[in-house]
């Protein structure tokens, strides 16, 4: 059984007595900075010169500086820039300006696990990773609740790294839900596997293939969309609430029986073997290397794959259908339909 931490296991005054630099003000960055500030922590947000996030952070009353200046004054540096820019950002702007005893924090273990960032031995290295998007981390905190976090310590130079990490986790609201102890290796490998094999990769491919089978058999794309995409949310909500059993309890006996006899015909043992190969590529670093090399070259493969995904016929069908229904009104102000990307 995993080791769990709650509010009573952490001392808020530990992080309140430190200066925290939040590097980046995106999904996670804005949530950490605002939650820490509201928990009475001295926060500075470190951003690139000319960053479009500067105005947003200042509007919230946060103290904003360049990355170098934010790091210079910080006891804890939480790196919340995109994973693929962290290596260069660390080498050029963070490392040269770190206090000797500054702690370096992450919300995902990627750069440590795959060796793109190698902090010197004097620094604590820890992870506080909310298991939800930043917007939820902020919303839950404001509602007096929290999003569960996973916490890990890779390097405990001070001997206090766990106290600081748990105090930080408490300050962003995570321990109101729960903190789960993990390691950088476990978090990174399971996170990448989960998003590739099941959540993002697996689910997207399952939906697209189901849509193709129905439309190629002559059914209307609008009907196919409802059957393989729209209803996905209803099913996943049930699974989330009460496990696969609750989903099976809620659907008709016909659907439940079909689940038992046809699920294993679609997700066959060779699909499980393919999943193991995905895990092998995560663990060997082959996936990380492919991603980072492509990003370093400007992301040609990434852009090609993204545009292929956007051009799948299910996207056009969905865009038209969703217009008909008020309940699909998008909740994310910075997401533009049909224009995924930066």
108 is catalytic: yes
Cα–Cα distance, 203 to 196 (Å, whole number): 9
Looking only at residues 195 through 214 of this chain, which bind Mg ion when binding is defined by CB under 5 A?
Answer: 195
| Contact criterion met (CB below 8 Å) for 111 and 94 | no
Nearest Cα to Cα of residue 292 among 117, 145, 138: 117
Shortest separation between residue 296's beta carbon and ligand NAD, angstroms: 13
Helices (H) and strands (E) in the chain, counts: 18, 9
The correct pick among 41, 62, 102, 107 for binding ligand NAD (CB under 6 A) is 107
Q: How far is CA 340 from the centre of its chain?
A: 17
- Residue placing its CB nearer to ligand NAD in the complex, 27 or 317: 27
| DSSP one-letter code for 282 | H
Stretch that binds ligand NAD, among 116-124, 127-135, 170-178, 267-275 (CB under 6 A): 127-135
- Residue placing its CB nearer to ligand NAD in the complex, 127 or 161: 127
The correct pick among 22, 24, 105, 154 for binding ligand NAD (CB under 6 A) is 24
Q: On the CB side of 308, how many CA atoms lie within 13 Å of its CA?
A: 9
The correct pick among 5, 21, 27, 94 for binding ligand NAD (CB under 6 A) is 27
| Contact criterion met (CB below 8 Å) for 207 and 314 | yes
- Residue placing its CB nearer to Mg ion in the complex, 211 or 287: 287
DSSP H helical ranges for the chain: 12-16, 27-38, 53-59, 67-72, 83-89, 110-113, 134-142, 161-171, 174-177, 184-193, 201-216, 221-225, 231-250, 253-266, 269-284, 286-296, 300-310, 313-323
- Residue placing its CB nearer to Mg ion in the complex, 79 or 314: 79
Cα–Cα distance, 243 to 237 (Å, whole number): 9
Per-residue contact string for residues 274-313; x = within reach of ligand NAD by CB under 6 A? ----------------------------------------
Cα–Cα distance, 150 to 109 (Å, whole number): 11
Shortest separation between residue 42's beta carbon and ligand NAD, angstroms: 20
Q: Is 51 in the site for ligand NAD (CB under 6 A)?
A: yes
- Residue placing its CB nearer to Mg ion in the complex, 133 or 313: 133
| Contact criterion met (CB below 8 Å) for 4 and 179 | yes
Shortest separation between residue 191's beta carbon and Mg ion, angstroms: 4
- Residue placing its CB nearer to ligand NAD in the complex, 172 or 238: 172
The correct pick among 140, 165, 191, 211 for binding Mg ion (CB under 5 A) is 191
Q: Which residue has the tokens 């992450």?
A: 106
Q: Is 62 in the site for ligand NAD (CB under 6 A)?
A: no
Phi, psi of 147 (to 5 degrees): -100, 135
Nearest Cα to Cα of residue 187 among 116, 121, 128: 128
**What number of other Cβ atoms are within 10 A of residue 226's Cβ?**
14
The correct pick among 19, 37, 108, 138 for binding ligand NAD (CB under 6 A) is 108
For 72, residues 6+ apart whose C-beta sits below 8 A from its C-beta are 97, 99
Among residues 30, 108, 230, 312, the one annotated as catalytic is 108
Looking only at residues 76 through 105 of this chain, which bind ligand NAD when binding is defined by CB under 6 A?
Answer: 80-83, 85, 89
Stretch that binds ligand NAD, among 47-55, 272-280, 286-294, 326-334 (CB under 6 A): 47-55
What would the two tokens of residue 190 be? Answer: 């399971």
Stretch that binds Mg ion, among 16-24, 188-196, 221-229, 295-303 (CB under 5 A): 188-196
Q: Is 83 in the site for Mg ion (CB under 5 A)?
A: no
Q: On the CB side of 107, how many CA atoms lie within 13 Å of its CA?
A: 29
Binding site for ligand NAD (CB under 6 A): 24-29, 47-48, 51, 53, 80-83, 85, 89, 107-108, 129-130, 133-134
| Residues engaged in binding Mg ion (CB under 5 A) | 191, 195
> Which are the catalytic amino acids?
108
């Amino acid at each position: 059984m995993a080791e769990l931490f709650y509010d009573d296991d952490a001392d808020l005054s530990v992080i309140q007595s430190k200066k925290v630099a939040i590097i980046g003000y995106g999904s996670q960055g804005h949530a950490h900075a605002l939650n820490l500030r509201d928990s009475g922590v001295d926060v500075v947000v470190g951003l690139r010169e000319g960053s479009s996030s500067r105005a947003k952070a200042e509007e919230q009353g946060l103290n904003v500086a360049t990355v170098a200046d934010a790091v210079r004054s910080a006891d804890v540096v939480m790196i919340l820039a995109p994973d693929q820019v962290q290596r260069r950002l660390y080498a050029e702007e963070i490392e040269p300006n770190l206090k000797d005893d500054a702690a370096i924090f992450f919300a995902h273990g990627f750069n440590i696990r795959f060796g793109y960032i190698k902090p010197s031995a004097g620094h604590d290295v820890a992870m506080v990773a909310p298991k939800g998007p930043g917007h939820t981390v902020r919303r839950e905190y404001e509602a007096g609740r929290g999003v569960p976090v996973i916490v890990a310590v890779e390097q405990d130079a001070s001997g206090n790294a766990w106290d600081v990490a748990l105090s930080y986790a408490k300050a962003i609201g995570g321990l109101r839900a729960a903190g789960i102890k993990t390691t950088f290796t476990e978090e990174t490998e399971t996170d990448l596997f989960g998003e590739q094999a099941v959540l993002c990769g697996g689910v997207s491919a399952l939906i697209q293939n189901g849509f193709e089978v129905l439309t190629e058999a002559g059914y209307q794309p609008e009907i196919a969309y409802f059957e393989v995409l729209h209803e996905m949310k209803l099913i996943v909500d049930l699974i989330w609430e009460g496990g696969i059993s609750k989903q099976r309890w809620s659907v008709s006996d016909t659907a439940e029986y079909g689940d038992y006899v046809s699920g294993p015909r679609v997700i066959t043992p060779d699909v499980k073997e393919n999943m193991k190969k995905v895990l092998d590529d995560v663990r060997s670093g082959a996936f990380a290397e492919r991603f980072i090399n492509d990003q370093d070259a400007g992301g040609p493969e990434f852009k090609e794959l993204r545009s292929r995904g956007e051009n799948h016929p299910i996207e056009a069908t969905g865009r038209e259908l969703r217009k008909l229904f008020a309940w699909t009104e998008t909740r994310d102000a910075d997401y533009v339909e049909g224009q995924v990307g930066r």
